[in-house]
Amino acid sequence: MDDNWLDYESDDSDNAHAEDSGSETENIDSETAEDEEEIDLEKPNLEESDPYENDTQGCSYSSRSDMVWSSTPSYSSPTKHHGNVKLTPGSTELTSHVASVEDAFLCFISEEMLKKILRYSNTAGNSNRTLDDSFEEISIVELKDFIGLLLISGLLRKSRKSIKSLWTRSSMESPVFRATMSRNRFETISLS
């Protein structure tokens, strides 16, 4: 018998069944290029295991280039490896000092980044104002409040609503937007 499973010819009863099955492998030898790798399905390499274990053993298949395909998924360890650095879950040096919501927020956006955003927002706000319009510069507290409101609107799935609807006095809406800053100030910051 030839080692290539595609060249294997079966008896007539198998051929009759193959015609009815609509199998794509009927004329596979004319469609398969010689340089493609083929998997030897006739001779699966069963993984060795204890015969007294449960029947969850899988089998593996190897191609001509010795690539091994397994019928059971491989499981990764609980720790993740990136290069030579071993990452373990839990607090890190950066998060070990977190004692408040603001500290947790600063783990994602540093003070330096906030200062750059603030500087460029104030520059843009001053350059976009008209002669009769005065721009009140944004403070670091207002910038943190603004970013917090953006995060809350996404969390509450309200990011697709109009800004006006977020500041309504409806009992169905969250009062956190009105309590944090006025709608006009939010719009001014978003334009700068």
Residue 132 has a pLDDT of 55
Q: Are 79 and 87 in contact (CB under 8 A)?
A: yes
Residue 80 covered by a domain: no
At how many degrees (to 10) do helices 111-128 and 140-155 cross? 100
Residue 80 has a pLDDT of 55
CA angle, 124 as apex, 119 and 128 as ends, to 5°? 150
For the chain of 192 residues, list the mean pLDDT of each consecutive stretch of 10. 49 47 48 53 51 56 79 64 65 80 86 95 85 81 93 81 82 83 90 83
Residue 131 has a pLDDT of 55
Residue 92 covered by a domain: no
Residue 91 covered by a domain: no
Residue 108 has a pLDDT of 86
Residue 149 covered by a domain: yes
Residue 78 has a pLDDT of 58
Q: Which domain holds residue 10?
A: 1-22+38-44+60-66
CA angle, 153 as apex, 150 and 154 as ends, to 5°? 90
Residue 83 has a pLDDT of 59
Residue 94 covered by a domain: no
Closest CA to 183 of 139, 146, 136: 146
What stretches of the chain adopt beta strand conformation (E)? 45-46, 59-62, 68-70, 80-82, 85-87
Q: How many CB atoms lie within 10 A of CB 104?
A: 11
CA angle, 91 as apex, 85 and 93 as ends, to 5°? 70
Residue 124 covered by a domain: yes
Domains in the chain, number: 2
Q: What phi and psi, each to the nearest 5 degrees, are found at residue 60?
A: -125, 155
Closest CA to 143 of 176, 107, 105: 105
Residue 26 has a pLDDT of 47
Residue 76 covered by a domain: no
Greatest Cα-to-Cα distance within the chain, rounded to the nearest angstrom: 93
**161-189 burial by CB neighbour count: b if 16+ within 10 A, else e?**
eeeeebbeeeeebeeebeeebeeeebebb
Residue 114 covered by a domain: yes
